[in-house]
């Protein structure tokens, strides 16, 4: 058995945040019934056609679910038939839409006392931004993530939907906590998540830094605003290696064992962390002068021998063939309406209990089977 075997999750979901949360629940054994619009379904299905004619976002987020096509305005009764048997209801409608459909948290929990409800919104259920559009880029901008990402010359958004992922993971963990709470109390509860709150929490370091110093941490590309040397460095043959030296022991070992320049460790410009940050251009010039005479392999060998934290800066295509993923057999194949999809195993590993990895559904693929199941005695 998986931990959530026997748990029924009904989700009126679309885009990224809610589907990401419910996929985690499905992989731990929950039965997830995804309610979609008849015909077009979740609009994330149409984001692109990268995977056998299907959206890369959708195949990432929706394996192991059942799709039921329901017109919620005309047939909310069908959803209520499901909720009579459900343990969890997740929705990421626009603010107020769930209440207009008779699916608001307060009404549902009065009607189904053991039901756990989870609402995912852009900015929360109240406040001046309640009804604002809340696409991931907009949330990244409002929460300040864009302001601390990128180079000194130009800000940039994160290359993945950070606000959606953050909200999805908080929804996932919130639902798990609510299920545990129900085991003790016998009653369901409501879990409220917003993309903005999730990403503001992730902005804790820049917020504390700015509040404490009066100035935001500077944008430094792959470098770090408060640590040096930290970031991407290039060997003489063009191989890029990322360093993360975070204490004086590592700095001394790096100077001696990698650079062959023990004098740099006691150079007054570089003998403290704050000094290395203050004199970052001079520091990088000293490091680059040595690395220019090394190949990538030589540099990696020296870093490994000196036990210095490092990594390769890989392109996405290289990650597809990453030796760590291959060695740990992390790639699996799941079915989809367009054909087999190669995907990675979920991060949560339960030894001896493989995760649920069922196909990615077509729109309304399971509608008839679910309706037949509802006609059976509970």
Phi, psi (degrees; rounded to nearest 5) at 322: -60, 130
Active site residues: 224
Render 45-65 in DSSP notation, one character per residue.
GGS--TBTTB-HHHHHH-TTE
Burial class (CB in 10 A: 0-12, 13-18, 19+), 215: exposed
DSSP one-letter string for 248-276:
HHHHHHIIIIIIS-GGGGG-TTTSSHHHH
Residue 7 structure tokens: 């748990």
- Count Cβ atoms within 10 A of the Cβ of residue 328 and give its class: 0-12 exposed, 13-18 middle, 19 or more buried: exposed
Separation CA 116–CA 108 (nearest Å): 9
For residues 105 and 91, what is the distance between their CA atoms, to the nearest angstrom?
10
Looking only at the bridges linking them, the beta strands covering 65-69 and 31-36 are parallel
Tokens standing for residue 273: 């962390």
């Amino acid at each position: 058995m998986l931990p959530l075997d026997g748990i029924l999750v009904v989700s009126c979901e679309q885009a990224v945040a809610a589907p990401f949360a419910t996929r985690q629940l499905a992989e731990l054994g929950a039965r997830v019934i995804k309610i979609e619009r008849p015909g077009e379904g979740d609009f994330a299905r149409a984001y692109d056609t990268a995977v056998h004619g299907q959206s890369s976002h959708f195949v990432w987020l929706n394996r192991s679910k059942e799709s039921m096509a329901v017109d919620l305005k005309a047939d909310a009764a069908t959803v209520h038939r499901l909720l009579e048997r459900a343990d969890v209801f997740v929705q990421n409608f626009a603010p107020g839409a769930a209440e207009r459909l008779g699916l608001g948290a307060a009404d549902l929990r009065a009607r189904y006392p053991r039901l756990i409800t989870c609402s995912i919104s852009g900015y929360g259920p109240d406040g001046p931004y309640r009804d604002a559009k809340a696409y991931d880029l907009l949330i990244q901008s409002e929460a300040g993530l864009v302001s601390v990402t990128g180079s000194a010359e130009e800000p940039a958004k994160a290359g993945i939907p950070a606000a959606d992922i953050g909200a999805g993971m908080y929804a996932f963990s919130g639902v798990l906590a609510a299920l545990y709470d129900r085991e003790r109390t016998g009653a369901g509860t409501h879990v409220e998540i917003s993309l903005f709150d999730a990403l503001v929490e992730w902005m804790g370091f820049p917020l504390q830094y700015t509040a404490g110093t009066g100035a935001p941490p500077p944008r430094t590309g792959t470098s770090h605003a408060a640590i040096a040397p930290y970031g991407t460095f290039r060997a003489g043959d063009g191989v890029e290696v990322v360093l993360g030296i975070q204490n004086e022991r590592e700095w001394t070992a790096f100077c001696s064992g990698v650079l062959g320049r023990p004098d740099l460790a006691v150079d007054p410009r570089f003998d403290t962390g704050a000094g290395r940050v203050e004199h970052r251009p001079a520091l990088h010039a000293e490091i680059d002068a040595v690395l220019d005479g090394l190949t990538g392999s030589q540099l990696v060998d020296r870093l490994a021998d000196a036990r210095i934290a490092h990594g390769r800066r890989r392109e996405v295509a290289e990650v597809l063939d990453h030796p760590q993923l291959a060695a740990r057999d992390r790639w699996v194949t799941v079915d989809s309406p367009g054909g087999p999809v190669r995907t990675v195993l979920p991060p949560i590993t339960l030894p001896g209990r493989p995760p649920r990895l069922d196909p990615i559904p077509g729109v309304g693929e399971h509608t008839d089977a679910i309706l037949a199941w509802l006609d059976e005695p509970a």
